[in-house]
Chain A
Amino acid sequence: MDWEKVKRIFIWLLIGLNIGLFGVNYSISRQYVMTSAQEKAIYEVLGANGIGMYTELIKTTKPMRQLSVSLEFLEADKIKKMYFQEDEDVKITREFEKIIFSSNSKSLTVQGNSIVFLNPTGSGYIDEFSKEKALKAADDFINKVGMDIGQNIKLESVDYDEGKYVFEYNERYKEYKLFSNAKKVTVSENGVIMASASYYTVQNFLGENRKICACDEALLTFLGEIKKEGKTEGVYIEKIELGYDFQEAGDVADGSKLKLIPCYRIFISGSSKVYLINAYTNEIMS
């Protein structure tokens, strides 16, 4: 048998197969990409309703799965060691489900899987206070107290208010942002004065890939909500994100894991309100 001829035929067949598969994969992936016509249309609709866009649209919206997380109940002793020095005189008060650690200058309240840390005198004076120096102080603080704990923490937003910077970080799982696992650090010229965080352990992806609404569809839902609130002018969208957050009502199912679902998060300028839209159902979440 002429094996070389067989191999040649086989190679051509495989090339053909790969081209075919590539074509199918490409056309399927394109169905989740916003067309320029859609882009144009949504800008026009928003513009006609007095809403400006200061950010880019999310153009690719592939189907996503749910994410299963569990509450991480924090071990009090471990947490105490992260926030207080060994030689600090720490008083421990238990108020039912809260444990409050307090020293002369700091207090740390641990409740379930959340912490609130207060240090009014600050972690250390910052010379020539600036955003970059404040950010460095916040990053150092996060690493020191182990908020990172092996997960990916990325800076999401910076707010400035009366001499203080508030840095918000989100955890990431693979390439996705977890809106539920937000960590906030407030820095003044005296250093870190406040921090808060909630801890959830990501277990795994759950269920099947389900289609999510496209960014323009979510923006139309947002538009409806804005109209309901009676805001007609001067609304500027600063940021749109796609990530994971909790559903409104927990689904008991097997009873132990909480579920995060894909959501769009929209920020508008001049307001601290965050608009969350369920990407599966395209409905506003409270």
Chain B
Amino acid sequence: MKSIKFSRIKNFVIVGLIFAAVYQTGTLWLGNYTGHNFFYSILNTNNGLRSSKKTSATLIDAQKIVVGYGNKYFNLIYPGLMGGKDILPKTNGFITSLLENGKYVTTEETVLEQYIGQKCVIYDFAFDVSATQYFIGMGTVNNDNIKGINSISQIIAVPAAGKNDVSYLYIVDAYTGKTNIFEANSSVESEKLYSQIEELEGLNVDSMKYISTRQSGFNIFKENTFVPQWTQSKYQYAAINKISTLSRFGDDIDTELENATSGFFDNYYTKSLTKDSNGVYMISDDNTVVKYYPQGTMEYFNYQSSANKTEQTLSTAYYACKEFLKKDGTLKTKMFLSDVKLNKSDGLVFCFDYCINDIPIFLSEKTKENLSIEHAAEVVVESNTVKKYKRYAYDFEALPSHDRWVDVDFLGAMNQAIASEGDQGSVTEIGDIVLAYYVDESSESGLKWFTYVDGEIHTVDTVKNVSNQDVAEDGK
């Protein structure tokens, strides 16, 4: 009897010691060392994909699309929310097809000038997009090929030149700085894309040409950027005119404004329109308010709390944002995704800027300050519903005559920007340079160089011998 009892005690001791060993091993593994274990993946399923099944998601738009012709010349297209002509769907089709039918080749240190040496389409993103989110939006999330990619800064699509050639896809990982390379044989999609690029080359013979700074040996920039270049001594262009939303309405402004904003409201009959002594129009119902200010901004706020709090991800939030913007009946000018921010007071904010004829339009620092707006439009999305929306309520039209010109090239503009920093030796980072329309209180706007030096934006005139140089203090 005693020996049986003792044997049972031993069994309990063994079980106890096994538990103790398992517990201590678990503590060692989970508590002290970083991931890479079975428990880690279970504990982190919360961070996985949950929303793609129930909530609609969409592709994150590139800030700009660069089309390369294989001869060191490129065209820039700002695809915007209203589609990027035919190049966008054809490139997306190519990317999807290549990832599904092609194979992963390797991951290497990025050699951009090599990838863009042939006819290609480059998606340049305004921010580092989570790869998972991007491919959820594209619908290829289950592809094993892309599982190793963290976040995307650029995608370069190089369709096969002929039926016996190979197509390539280069995805630059912003997190590692390296490029993931995929290849596939020629396909219907690659042929369509290749033809589209050739067609664009023919159509854009007279439009502004761009070169790649990296490819052309201009290494003063921190990263590759595309800068305009022209063969003549100067580039002629048309200025743009800005027209305020309110001024476009006729005598019956109340009715026209109500109709234009009806997309924001669920119920036509419960809303009211008022105009206060400051000239601010307010259209509201119990849950929503839309205001148009004479100074030139419009604001929308949704007081309703999201009825079904759905899990929000970047791609589902962007879908909600794009669907919402379709309801803005007074938005007539093309906009492109300029930035995405996450801040502790608003949450997720999508920022857009205007563009016209594939040239961006940027607000002057004074305009931004006066109107408390950083970009032409800012959309706050919470639980896949737009909560807040603010927009610079103007439309832009190109004037008929090309009576303005640019005779300061990008190098000249960059030198001026660096000189304005003061001590030239102290400049550590030359980020980017963009030729864009500069919008201030004037009704007409011309082009200026926007340079990003050491985190500050400097605007430089595009015409020689003009003494004005507006130095902005705000960082990018």
Contacts and interface: CB of A to CB of B under 8 A. Distances in A.
B346 interface: yes
Interface stretch (A19-27, A36-44, A212-220, A276-284): A19-27
A255 B24 contact: no
B283 interface: no
A74 B382 CA distance: 12
B25 interface: yes
A17 B314 contact: no
14 contacts: A4-B7, A15-B17, A17-B21, A73-B305, A73-B306, A94-B289, A96-B299, A209-B33, A210-B34, A251-B342, A253-B130, A253-B314, A254-B130, A256-B348
Contacts of B270: none
Given A17-B21, A25-B28, A250 B382 contact: no
A258 to B, nearest CB: 6
A255 B314 contact: yes
Contacts of B14: 7, 10-11, 14
Contact of A11 (B10, B35, B301): B10
Contact of B387 (A11, A73, A253): A73
B312 A18 contact: no
Contacts of A99: 303
Contact of A254 (B28, B132, B291, B301): B132
Nearest to B312: A256
Interface in B301-320: 301, 303, 305-306, 311-315, 317-318
Contact of A25 (B24, B303, B344): B24
A21 B28 contact: yes
Interface string B31-56: 11111000010010011000000000
Contact of A209 (B18, B32, B133, B346): B32
**Majority-rule SS of B interface residues:** mixed
Contacts of B35: 208
Interface of B: 7, 10-11, 13-14, 17-18, 20-21, 24-25, 27-28, 31-35, 40, 43, 46-47, 127-130, 132-133, 151, 284, 289, 291, 299, 301, 303, 305-306, 311-315, 317-318, 340-348, 382-383, 387-388
A157 B73 CA distance: 63
B96 to A, nearest CB: 21
A24 B43 CA distance: 24
B340 A255 contact: yes
Contact of B301 (A15, A97, A210): A97
B196 to A, nearest CB: 31
B34 to A, nearest CB: 4
Interface in A99-126: 99, 112-114
A203 interface: yes
Bin the interface of chain A by size.
35 or more
Contacts of A114: 345
Given A76-B303, A255-B348, A258-B347, A21 B24 contact: yes
A206 interface: yes
A23 B445 CA distance: 73
A33 interface: no
B130 A112 contact: no
B22 to A, nearest CB: 10
Interface of A: 4, 7-8, 10-11, 14-15, 17-18, 21-22, 24-25, 28-29, 62-63, 68, 70-71, 73-76, 94, 96-97, 99, 112-114, 180, 200, 203-206, 208-210, 246, 250-256, 258
B313 A254 contact: yes
B291 A96 contact: yes
Given A73-B305, A252-B314, 17 more contacts: A11-B17, A14-B21, A15-B17, A21-B28, A28-B32, A71-B344, A75-B305, A97-B301, A112-B347, A114-B345, A180-B344, A252-B348, A254-B313, A255-B313, A255-B342, A255-B348, A256-B313
**Majority-rule SS of A interface residues:** mixed
Contacts of B348: 252, 255-256
A197 to B, nearest CB: 14
Nearest to A253: B130
Given A7-B11, A255-B317, A250 B305 contact: no
Contacts of A28: 28, 32
A204 B44 CA distance: 9
A206 B48 CA distance: 11
A250 B342 contact: yes
Contact of B344 (A7, A14, A17, A246): A246
A234 B132 CA distance: 53
A253 B152 CA distance: 10
A60 to B, nearest CB: 13
Given A96-B299, A210-B34, A252 B28 contact: no
A250 B347 CA distance: 9
A94 B291 CA distance: 12
Nearest to B45: A204
A14 B14 CA distance: 8
Contacts of A73: 305-306, 382-383, 387
A185 B315 CA distance: 39
B214 to A, nearest CB: 25
Contact of B130 (A7, A203, A255): A255
Nearest to B20: A18
B10 A63 contact: no
A95 to B, nearest CB: 9
Nearest to B349: A250
Contact of B345 (A76, A112, A254): A112
